[in-house]
Structure 1
Amino acid sequence: MARRQAGWLPWLWLALLPMAFPPSTAPPGGCPSACYCVATPELVQCRYERLEEPPKELPVTVHNLSIAGSNLSILHPAAFAARPLPDLRLLRLPHDNIQTIEDMALQGLPALRTLDLSHNPLLWVAAGAFAGVPSLRTLQLNQALLAAPLEDQLALALHNLSLRRLELAGNGLRALPATLLPAGLEELDLRNNSLQRLTAAELRSLEAPGLRGLRLTLGANPLSCDCALRPFLAWLRATAARVPDARSLRCAGPPPLRGTALLRLRPEALACAAGEPGRLETASYVFFGIVLALIGIVFLMVLYLN
């Protein structure tokens, strides 16, 4: 009997061990109380804990930090640098109700390469919001620009970055955000916006030095297949390799062309609707010709009567 009781003692000690080290007093390098580590302290996830600020006791060895479903409404300066995080490379902050990003909010994350701010109602982004992250190469802002017009603010904030990939899907954009495209950008995600076409001026901006190798995805945009689409169609045919989803692009209108693949269209099939520039220009020439003809007839009649 005594031997059987002695056999349970190690298990009793293991059961009581967490009480000796409660989550709120986790030793340095352990997981914060509101988070959990996957496999090692290098991967930390904090999901739907309604945090109002980033955890303070993050492991210094963390490489990948994900905070989702919280209430981080304001990212203050050095918001993630309560202790140095020299190895953090990926920071995901989706669905965190982030509205304001102050200057130097990411200070203390020198190795950060990927930042995901998707699905946040951004209202203000300071000019120095991304200062202190010289290694940042991928910025994800999917469905993050719906609450306020932020293009001018973001243009300043992104000015000194060396981004390689920028994601702007699902933001209701009606035009190419040319001011947000730093030289050297390699990938631009514009899927699921409100783009009807890319204008000739926007296409010229894609040929600027430093952007000639840019690849952009454009799926799920309501492309209008009328005469105003002709410059974009010509560009798409000539540079289809720069649009990985080119073969999947479809017309959203007009009704006779709805669902037609863009690369199957012929330029002459792109008619101008009434009131559009091409139709108005043609109508103007016709009207001008009629007026000249009437003037000529009147002139001939006057000569005949004389």
Structure 2
Amino acid sequence: MKLCLPLLLPLLFYQHLWSPSLADSCPKDCTCQIQDSIFCFSRKDPKMPSEVPMTTKNLYVFKNGIKSLSQEDFLEMESLEMLDLSQNKLTELPGGVFEPLSSLHNLDLSANQIVHISKDSFAGLERLERLYLYSNLIESIHPAAFDGLQQLLELKLQGNKLTIMPALNMPHLLLLDLRFNSIPSPGPNDLQTPRLESLKLGGLGLISLDEELLGSFKNLHELDISNNQLTSFPGVLREARGLVSLSLAGNPMGPVKWEDFEKLSELQELDISNLSLQGLPETLTQLFPHLQRLTVAENPFNCLCNMAWFPGWLRIKQIQLGRTEETRCHFPPLNSGKVLERLSNREFGCPITTTVTTRTVKTTAVPPAPVTNLPSTTHAVLLAKPSDYPFTESDNNPPPPTPSSTIDPDLRSTFCPPNICLNGGTCWLDNKGRLECICLPGTSGTYCEKEEDPLPHEDHTDDPTVPEPEITATLVTSSSILLDIHRYIEMRPHIRGVKLTYKNLSGPDKRAKHLNIPPSYPEYTIRGLQPNSTFSVCASPLGEPGDMDRVCIETQTFSQQLTPTGARLEDPKLTTMLIPAVAILLLLVLVAVAVGVACYMHKKKSKGHLDLECDPSQLELDGLENGELPQKQEIISCPSTTQNGGFDCEMPLMQDHCTANNNKNSLKPSYF
């Protein structure tokens, strides 16, 4: 059973429950539109509100800038049951400060700056049921600080700086959250909480768990041991039949042994993110019949045929996939960076076995294993490319089907080796048993390998109703992206520069890389990227706090795939640039040869000393004066550090110093 008590009542109910008596005596800068409740939000006052009516039961004083409390602040508030002091600037809790609040049930002190909890910080709160102290700076708690809280049901201490946890003797405690502290694994003597239902120990750096402690909880329903240093599945969990929610994410457990989960059939929520999983077995459908939410983010999944069952299972069972955008394929390259849940069945590339009889043709998708021991009346054929006929006139295969033969409708689907049709093309079997690629609009060719220019009516660049994007990305090569940020800079004429943040959404390493670009550079090329990957690129004004005014796009680098004939597919732009370059080179070679021949003939005729010495390097070429080639623009070159999260650059960056080709100091913006 999971307890959840909202501490902030919905604002929509204010107008329905209105107390005239409270409204007449409402403290300054507060609202009193809910019966028996006072709501003080962002008053920017370092002191508690005064003249609170004695009949008040719920007092919300959060984000007010309150720096200190005294017992006088709560005099004549014996009826108060709920006190929310979160998001203030409290640094300490004086002893006995809450003693006048003898009826208090709920106390929220989260997101303050409290450093120490003294022995008498909660004196007089014998009826307290929920105490929230998370997101403070608490370093120490007096061993007797919680002794008087015998009715406590929930205690939240996550996100502090605790190194030692006092022993808790709380017979009614149901929820304990200790995440993201530095305390050791608690033992049976540390937690005497026999009714505990929810225990959260994530982010403590634990290398082991006290199995005697976990075994003592007979009513434990929720366990979070994520982001620790556990190298193996805790053995005590193999018998934890009552668990409803379990998080193992971010532990270096190595290969998961799914038999460890056989007795956890009651699980409704499971988080196995960041465990280096490359696949999921189809037995999950039987292991967790009651599963409602599954989180498998940050795993380097191989999206092959053995994973084709997964998206359909999520849809059929209506299972919510947590952190969907962070659950992406890592392999094969064709699927790298794609969201796993959104892949269609054909994109997993399951091989096809064709069964041929004298009357009909049947197609069945099978796991990738060799076909052996086939009956003599059938033949299995694995097609290699569209030009091959699945049925050839040979001693080992029957003749092609006659026009009167029928082809099973199941054949009219993907029927070829994985990824043979490029750019999203679909493989198709015609009535003669031949394969061809059906190409998407904008692509053509035998294998859909040619990308055509979009149709004129699809160009919305001149449509005034479609706003011009602030950032655009153009693929230059398989490992570089050209960013056009001139629109972003034009809309912000006073910014000092642009902070570019990009990260690879494909694979396990999603750490963000940062670049600072001067506003004088409306274009920038990011180099050294991983081919066939999906990248998130964001721009924000340099020097602004946080992610203010941030604009993001997603783009992909293409893969250097081999075509079915063995040729490598390259960027069409490179081909367009390469052909003129090769032509010019050939022209220069021919000119040099012609000059060499002319010189040789001249020498032969002179029969002695030469009147003219011919050197091809001294000739003037058309369009160039004095035989000088134009100087290349200086390129500031940084070493490629793709593996280390770096980049190549073509211009001086604001945070990096690169050595120029001519050994001169690189340029440095004046505002760096």
Please indicate the TM-score interval, normalised by the length of the shorter structure. 0.5 to 0.7
Report the Cα distance in structure 2 between the residues aligned to 1:139 and 1:130, rounded to whole angstroms.
10
Asked if 1:193 is matched to 2:185, the reply is: no
- Which AA in structure 2 matches 1:150? I
Asked if 1:212 is matched to 2:246, the reply is: no
1:139–1:167 contact (8 Å) kept in structure 2: yes
CA offset at residue 35 of structure 1?
4.5
Report the Cα distance in structure 1 between the residues aligned to 2:94 and 2:219, rounded to whole angstroms.
36
Runs of 5+ consecutive residues of structure 1 not aligned to the other structure: 1-16, 267-306
Query: Which structure shows the higher strand fraction?
Result: 2
Greater displacement, 29-38 / 64-73: 29-38
CA offset at residue 242 of structure 1?
2.4
SS in 2 for 1:206: helix
2:69–2:94 contact (8 Å) kept in structure 1: no
Q: How big is the alpha-carbon RMSD for the aligned residues of Structure 1 and Structure 2?
A: 4.1
SS in 2 for 1:107: coil
Asked if 1:242 is matched to 2:246, the reply is: no
CA offset at residue 126 of structure 1?
0.7
Task: Determine the structure 2 residue equivalent to 1:182.
Answer: 192
**Per-residue deviation, residues 35-57 of structure 1 (Å, max 9, x unmatched):** 5989x710001112222223633
Name which of 94, 110, 118 aligns with 2:126. Answer: 110
Name which of 151, 157, 164 aligns with 1:135. Answer: 151
Task: Determine the structure 2 residue equivalent to 1:48.
Answer: 63
Report the Cα distance in structure 2 between the residues aligned to 1:116 and 1:42, rounded to whole angstroms.
18
Report the Cα distance in structure 2 between the residues aligned to 1:116 and 1:261, rounded to whole angstroms.
41
Residues 105, 248 of structure 1: alpha-carbon distance in 2 compared, 3 angstrom cutoff: same
Task: Determine the structure 1 residue equivalent to 2:235.
Answer: 231
- Structure 1 runs, 4 residues or longer, greater than 6 Å off: 29-33, 223-226, 259-266
Query: Which structure shows the higher helix fraction?
Result: 1
Report the Cα distance in structure 2 between the residues aligned to 1:261 and 1:248, rounded to whole angstroms.
16
Residues 109, 261 of structure 1: alpha-carbon distance in 2 compared, 3 angstrom cutoff: farther
Report the Cα distance in structure 2 between the residues aligned to 1:250 and 1:193, rounded to whole angstroms.
15
Q: What is the TM-score of this pair, normalised by structure 2? A: 0.29
**Higher relative contact order at CA 8 Å, sep ≥6: structure 1 or structure 2?**
1
1:52–1:70 contact (8 Å) kept in structure 2: yes
Q: How many residues are treated as equivalent by the alignment? A: 224
1:224–1:253 contact (8 Å) kept in structure 2: no
Report the Cα distance in structure 2 between the residues aligned to 1:252 and 1:262, rounded to whole angstroms.
20
**Per-residue deviation, residues 155-193 of structure 1 (Å, max 9, x unmatched):** 2xx24x324223325415696433542131322332652
- Which AA in structure 1 matches 2:132? D
Report the Cα distance in structure 2 between the residues aligned to 1:260 and 1:143, rounded to whole angstroms.
35
**Per-residue deviation, residues 42-79 of structure 1 (Å, max 9, x unmatched):** 00011122222236333221100000122221222112
**Per-residue deviation, residues 72-106 of structure 1 (Å, max 9, x unmatched):** 2122211212xx22211110111111111111211
CA offset at residue 131 of structure 1?
3.1
2:154–2:174 contact (8 Å) kept in structure 1: yes
Task: Determine the structure 2 residue equivalent to 1:252.
Answer: 274
Match runs of 1:76-91 below 5 Å: 76-81=94-99, 84-91=100-107
The structure that has the greater radius of gyration is 2
Task: Determine the structure 2 residue equivalent to 1:75.
Answer: 93
Runs of 5+ consecutive residues of structure 2 not aligned to the other structure: 1-23, 30-35, 41-46, 247-266, 288-672
